[in-house]
Homo-oligomer: A and B are copies of this chain.
Amino acid sequence: MKLITRDTDYAMRALIFLAQQKNRVISVSELVRELKTPRPFSRKILQQLNKAKILRSFKGNHGGFILAKKPKEIFLVDLIRVFQGPLELNECIFKKKICPNRNCCVLRNRISRIENKVLAELGAITVGSLLKE
């Protein structure tokens, strides 16, 4: 079971790098030179982050990307949601057969608790919290 896919991983790295550049507009070329991540893939990811309003983009010559939010306001969970869809561990797993009345299913309760825990822990991680000085 993977908690984080590569999109999310690269996105986080890119965001941390951008955060370190303090509002300088950074092009994909510059970014991949630094991070050594595959260029077109990285580009796609930045574009998605732009659509998600986590980045702001500038077109044309000398264009590129900057953070649209403060590092402390960019949460890992948000990235997960952008690239991996909603975090639903919760969805009923054992359909009809096993779960007679869904409200009190042992499984369901426990899985909800897991989900809450995951959200709480991940919800505390931001780009800011991973920045090294």
Residues in chain A within 8 A of chain B (CB atoms)? 1-4, 9, 12-13, 16, 35, 76, 80, 84, 87-89, 93-94, 97-98, 100, 106-107, 110-111, 113-114, 117-118, 121-122, 124-125, 129-130, 132
Q: How far is the CA of A87 from the CA of B89 in the complex (A)?
A: 14
Out of B84, B94, B111, which one reaches A12, CB within 8 Å? B94
User: In the assembled complex, which residues on chain B have CB atoms less than 8 Å from the CB atom of A93?
Assistant: 3-4, 9
In this complex, what residue of B is CB-closest to A12?
Answer: B94
Task: List residues of chain B with CB within 8 A of the CB of A3.
Answer: 1, 89, 93, 111, 114
Measured between alpha carbons, how far is A88 from B35 in the docked complex, in Å?
Answer: 25
Chain A interface, DSSP helix/strand/loop, else mixed: helix
User: Could you tell me if B89 and A106 are in contact, using CB atoms closer than 8 angstroms?
Assistant: no
Report how far A12 CA is from B98 CA in the complex, Å: 9
Q: Collect the chain B residues with CB atoms within 8 Å of residue A111's CB.
A: 3, 121
Complex partner residue of A87 from B1, B94, B125, CB under 8 angstroms: B1
